[in-house]
Amino acid sequence: MSKVAAKVFDPQPSFIDRGIDREKDWKVEWARQAAIVVSASLFVALCARVTVPLPFTPVPLTLQNFGVLTVGLLLGSRRGFAALALYVAEGACGLPVFSLGGGIAYLLGPTGGFLLAYPLVAFVAGYIYERSSRRFAWAALSSVAAELVLFAGGLSWLAVLTHSVSLAIRFGLYWFVFAEVIKVLMAASFAARWHQRRSA
């Protein structure tokens, strides 16, 4: 067989074929990552369904924060941010993904500061944890740092609405400290076990 014929019938994929394969792989990976981000936003929406209204504050007790921390720890900073940005956008468009419903009004209400902080909260949790040893202590530390961002945003907005820092702290912090500690421990434990199993 001549060299020309050998090149024609060469079973090795051509440069064009390899380019097409890479493009297909990229599209499949993009679709997979998009599905993960959408699923994560729906997971937070599901956590928001677990809500206990409190008579002495306009801010309800909810499992929502646990979902945000878990998403940030599991997906990392970029995907976690994307998932929670999508979640906030879904709620702003009127989808009932927030603990009390959906719509722009909820972003301007007492819980608006917490909701708008969610993408950054997930980013901080993921950013710290993905640069650590992935142990429980680091997951808990990442979650605590993210919680500081969460309450900084939530209490700042409450202070604007109530025109009082003391009222903002009373409505948005005092009644939630113990519950937030439990959520931090739950999210950290879940994330540490998840990464431990994946690395095993």
pLDDT (0 to 100) of residue 199 = 78
Domain ranges (residues) in the chain: 15-199
Q: How confident is the model at residue 161 (pLDDT cuts 50, 70, 90)?
A: very high
Residue 155 has pLDDT above 50, yes or no: yes
Neighbours of 43 (CB within 10 A): 17
Distance (Å, whole) CA 116 – CA 112 = 6
Alpha helix stretches (DSSP H) within the chain: 3-8, 15-48, 64-92, 104-108, 112-129, 136-162, 165-172, 177-199
Query: Which one-letter DSSP state was computed for residue 14?
Result: P
- pTM for this model (two decimals): 0.87
More confident residue, 11 or 83: 83
Closest to 49 measured CA to CA, from 109, 97, 13, 103? 97
What is the architecture, at CATH level 2, of domain 15-199? Answer: Orthogonal Bundle (1.10)
Pick the range with the lowest mean pLDDT from 118-122, 180-184, 194-198.
194-198
- 3-state class of 98 per DSSP? strand
* Mean pLDDT, all residues of the chain: 90
Q: What does the pLDDT look like over 128-149, one tens digit per residue?
A: 999 998 899 999 999 999 999 9
- For residue 181, the one-letter residue type is V
Q: How many of the other CB atoms lie within 10 Å of CB of 183?
A: 23
Residue-level pLDDT at 13: 56
Does the pLDDT at position 184 exceed 70? yes
What would the DSSP string read from start to end of 27-80? HHHHHHHHHHHHHHHHHHHHHHTSEE--TT-SSPEESHHHHHHHHHHHHHHHHH
51-52 and 61-62 beta bridge pairing: antiparallel
Q: Please write the tens of the pLDDT for every residue from 1-57.
A: 555 555 444 555 555 555 556 666 788 889 999 999 999 999 999 999 999 999 989
Cβ distance 191 to 135 under 8 Å? no
Buried b (16+ CB within 10 A) or exposed e, 99-123: bbebbeebbebbbbbbbbbbbbbbb
